[in-house]
Amino acid sequence: MSFTLSTAEIDTIRSILDKHNLSLEELKFLLSKQTVPVSIFKTGIGPLAALCIYLKDYEKLSLSEIANKLNRDQRTIWATYNKAKQKVRNLELDSLRVPLSIFQNRRKSIMENLVYHLRSELNMTLKDIAKLLGRNNKTIWCFYSRALKKNEN
């Protein structure tokens, strides 16, 4: 596939590289990683259900692909998606995104993986995470505490 960029587009890419002190290879790697918006976890359905709906309906992945990317059984993904689809039609999408790969760790729950990533990798406070996810501060603290304990073992 071949395409050309305008001078303005090239300047924009250069400014992003400079601003974040990235090499072109690092930028390519970041762009190649599949991400999901954090706001999908505010829907009132379970986190796995939110991921399944987003990946199936918005990213157009097959249930088999979703199962592989989330390190889950395909039957679990099918059942979760079908139940969730009856409850939710649309998801709220925002610009803050996290890598899909963080959810592959089966030792931690979906929310433990998410909260741990937001706190450890993005340096967000637990209060900010609670506000972002529409959850109670103590609930977020509990997810983070569990994730820390599971990392120690």
Give pLDDT, residue 1: 45
pTM over 0.85: no
Look at domain 36-98 and name its CATH class: mainly alpha
Q: What is the pLDDT of residues 76-85, one digit of tens each?
A: 999 999 999 9
- Angle subtended at Cα 73 by Cα 91 and Cα 102, rounded to the nearest 5 degrees: 55
| Residue 103 neighbours by CB under 8 Å, 6+ apart | 51, 69, 70, 71, 110, 113, 114
Distance of alpha carbon 140 from the chain centroid: 16
Q: Span 20-40, mean pLDDT?
A: 79
As given in the structure block, the two tokens for residue 63 are 């249930």
Single out the residue of 144, 147, 140, 153 nearest to residue 41, CA to CA. 140
pLDDT of amino acid 34: 86
The residue with tokens 């990946």 is: 55
CB 64, CB 123: distance < 8 Å: no
Q: Quick one: pLDDT at residue 118? A: 94
pLDDT in tens, 33-55: 789 999 999 878 899 999 999 99
Whole-angstrom Cα distance, residue 149 to residue 40? Answer: 26
Domain residue limits, the chain: 36-98, 105-153
Pick the residue with more confidence: 96 or 127? 127
Mean pLDDT score of the chain: 89
